[in-house]
Amino acid sequence: MDTFDLTYVHVHQLIKSYGRQTALDGVSLDLGPGITGLLGRNGAGKTTLLRILATGLASSSGVVRVLGEDPHDAAGRIAIRRQLGYVPQESALYESFTPFDFVDYVAILKEHTDRADRHAEVRRVLDAVDLGDVTRKKIRKLSGGMKRRVSLAQALLGDPRLLVLDEPTVGLDPEQRLRFRQLISRHADRRCVVLSTHMTEDVEALCDRVIVINEGVVRFDGTPVELTDTARGNVWIADRPDPGALVSWRTGEGRHRHIGSAPADAELVAPTLQDGYLLLSGGLSEEVAA
Amino acid sequence: MSWHLSPTSAKDYIGQRHSGSTVASIESHLPTCGECRRLIADVTTAANEPLLDQVWQRVTIALDDVTRPWSERALTRVGLSPETARLLGATSRARLSFLLAMLLTVGIAIVAAHGGRDAEFGAFLSVAALGPLVATALAFGRRVDPAHALVTTTPTSVWRIVLLRTAASLIPAVAITGLASLIVRERGWVAVAWLLPGIAMAVVSLALSIWVPIEHAALGLATAWIAAPVVALRPAGELIDTTAGLGQLVAIGAATLAALVITYSRSTLDFRET
């Protein structure tokens, strides 16, 4: 397989505008096999990018190729959709359905025509997300984490080459997140997984590559280790809060962690991925800081 | 289900050593229990795999039929495939709004029949024509379909889903409104003068949905339809009485034009800009 074949997603100078508002402004990236995490604030453009990759939204300009196909071309779009698994950000379930019925419904839409084979596939993906015991319970009676896993199960139908996951770990408890990581890391072998998340721990644990998007522009594209390194020499622990720090918070040990220039009597500490992300995105959003 | 298969019982099941009632009990438990299915898979040997596959396939299909919602089973009884019935069964959220719209139409028809005045009859015709439009608007779209974002990224044509669901809503809407028309049948053929404008508005809303969300298109058309008598400064009943013939022709023309637009531009619906 040559280099071109390993490019699952090719995006060049992608622009997406809604009226006067620009959601994506000249995004360029190439994605191969493995897991890529998108980090960014709410409204940064992550969901718009994922919807374009999932063929749910047209770009305003620029080049987009997904699995070698152009999503603006009707035949290309169908070809992409046949090899795609997608978990949208918002809940996309019919509450009156059971997990089995819902995943079966999506399997029908994904052209699994043979009934017996389709049902076997539905059971396979429900077992894969540990929902094999609640296949006949109404979705409305499931917990938030279980509902998220129903969404994930439908995305795994047919073992897709490209998996696009928009905040897949929202609502999952720590144990479920661990299971999710195991499942996705197994699936990512020679396939492409793109996921957006607010949780830097997920990126650290899962992704070979991380892309930080802010205001529709790619601010960072590299490995999690490289993102962590961007904060090296900028993270401090001190006994007192520092009003001049870019970001500062009280830790569980009662001391204060600062990102930015060195406060008085502070000691330099090793950065985390979250420190790198916060430094790169210019601190906390106004919403969080308030 | 509180019990689980023991490894011995699983082996006996595979080896066909259980009684009929025990087999039936196990087979009703297996579809709901991943743990026991994994156990069965673990104890299955290469020699009895084909037999197990056959049994498994038969049991699951039978059980899937039993647990299907009544609406899907009803649709399969009238000749639809289980797959098509499942695609149609997904619009349950819109059913209540649809039912209310239909009850409103029938209620106004009853009032019109008892009152016998032009104003009441006009109100019936106005509301009756909105039935097909409401049915169409509630058949598909971001607001009525929670899985819309997902459905539109599958290989199945969005247009096929729209048409299927529209037909499923439109047919009962027209049937119920048609029955309501019998209540005011003394008015002659004008009692069903709502039918063609109603269907025309439904088709036009579908055509407009290529560019704008269908609920916006339906709202615009409904507003224009309701406002027409006000603009013409005449009661709806009188307006329809005097323009019914022409109105039917206009409706046929609008529906034909909208159908042509749909035929040539439907792929846009599959990949909307917003």
pTM: 0.78
Chain-chain contact of B156 with A119 (C-beta, under 8 angstroms): no
Tell me: ipTM over 0.90.
no
> For a pLDDT cut of 90, what percent of chain A falls above it?
44
Would you place residue B274 in the very low, low, confident or very high pLDDT band (cuts 50, 70, 90)?
A: very low
Would you place residue A108 in the very low, low, confident or very high pLDDT band (cuts 50, 70, 90)?
A: very high
Residue B236 confidence (pLDDT): 58
- Give B90's contacts in chain A (Cβ within 8 Å): 94, 97, 105
SS3 content of chain B, % helix, strand, coil (to 5): 80, 0, 20
Three-state DSSP class for residue A57: coil
Token pair in block for residue B267: 């792929």
Query: Residue B40 above 50 pLDDT?
Result: yes
Q: Could you read off the pLDDT of A137-180 as tens digits, one per residue?
A: 889 999 888 898 999 999 999 999 999 999 988 878 888 888 88
Tell me the nearest-neighbour CA distance from A285 into chain B, angstroms.
Answer: 27
Q: Could you read off the pLDDT of B249-259 as tens digits, one per residue?
A: 888 899 999 98
Which residues of B sit within 8 Å Cβ distance of A?
Answer: 31-35, 37-38, 57, 60-61, 64, 67-69, 82-83, 86-87, 89-90, 92-93, 146-156, 161, 267, 270-274
**Considering CB atoms only, which of A96, A109, A132 is closest to B156?**
A109
- Give A91's contacts in chain B (Cβ within 8 Å): 146
Query: Residue A182 above 70 pLDDT?
Result: yes
Residue B269 confidence (pLDDT): 66
A46 within 8 A of A27, measured Cβ to Cβ: no
Q: Which long-range contacts (CB under 8 A, 24 or more apart) does A138-146 make?
A: A138/A95, A138/A96, A138/A97, A138/A98, A139/A93, A139/A94, A139/A95, A139/A96, A139/A97, A139/A98, A139/A99, A139/A102, A140/A95, A140/A96, A142/A99, A144/A171, A145/A171, A145/A172, A145/A173, A145/A176, A146/A99
- Give B61's contacts in chain A (Cβ within 8 Å): 115-116, 119
Higher per-residue confidence, A59 vs B115: A59
Chain-chain contact of A81 with B155 (C-beta, under 8 angstroms): yes
A27 within 8 A of A217, measured Cβ to Cβ: yes
As to burial, measured by CB atoms within 10 angstroms (0-12 exposed, 13-18 middle, 19+ buried), residue A106 is buried
Q: Could you read off the pLDDT of B64-75 as tens digits, one per residue?
A: 666 677 778 888
Mean pLDDT of chain A: 87
- Give B156's contacts in chain A (Cβ within 8 Å): 108-111
Chain-chain contact of B149 with A51 (C-beta, under 8 angstroms): yes
Chain-chain contact of A115 with B61 (C-beta, under 8 angstroms): yes
Q: What's the mean pLDDT in A184-211?
A: 89
**Considering CB atoms only, which of B37, B149, B272 is closest to A132?**
B37
Would you place residue A94 in the very low, low, confident or very high pLDDT band (cuts 50, 70, 90)?
A: confident
> For a pLDDT cut of 70, what percent of chain A falls above it?
95
Q: Could you read off the pLDDT of B177-191 as tens digits, one per residue?
A: 777 777 777 767 777
CA distances from residue B109 to A50, B122, B153, B228, B236 in whole angstroms, order as listed: 50, 10, 42, 20, 14
Location of structure tokens 């919807």 = A51
Q: Are strands A267-268 and A235-238 parallel, antiparallel or unpaired?
A: antiparallel
Tell me the nearest-neighbour CA distance from B37 into chain A, angstroms.
Answer: 9
